[in-house]
Amino acid sequence: MKITQKLLFRLFYVFGVGGSLVVGWGLLYFDKLHYHFAFQYIPGFFAICGFVFCAILILGAKFLGIWLVRPVDYYAKRRKG
């Protein structure tokens, strides 16, 4: 059986998300976590929150890259004039 890169990524995602949910439910079930807010008891909340904020950081970095970009000869032009 040939294992492709696509299959490995799918397995990684399935086990990553599944493992995160299982650990979250297990900790809630055995009452090891004491949260302050009701929305923190949603299974997978912290995984989803981490994904969303990571995506926001990536989009912000892309925007800054576009906004801060300078032409290749920017410093050469500044020296001449």
Q: Kindly calculate the radius of gyration of the chain based on its CA atoms and give it in whole angstroms.
A: 22
Q: Is the pTM of this model over 0.85?
A: no
Residue 52's alpha-carbon distances to 20, 44, 56, 73, in angstroms, are 16, 12, 6, 37
In the chain, where the domains are located? 5-80
Q: Is 35 helix (H, G, I), strand (E, B) or coil?
A: coil
User: What's the pLDDT at 64?
Assistant: 93
Taking the CB of residue 32, how many other CB atoms lie within 10 A of it? Answer: 8
Distance between CA atoms of residues 49 and 34, nearest Å: 18
Q: What is the pLDDT of residues 1-54, one digit of tens each?
A: 677 888 888 888 888 888 877 877 777 777 666 788 888 888 778 888 989 999
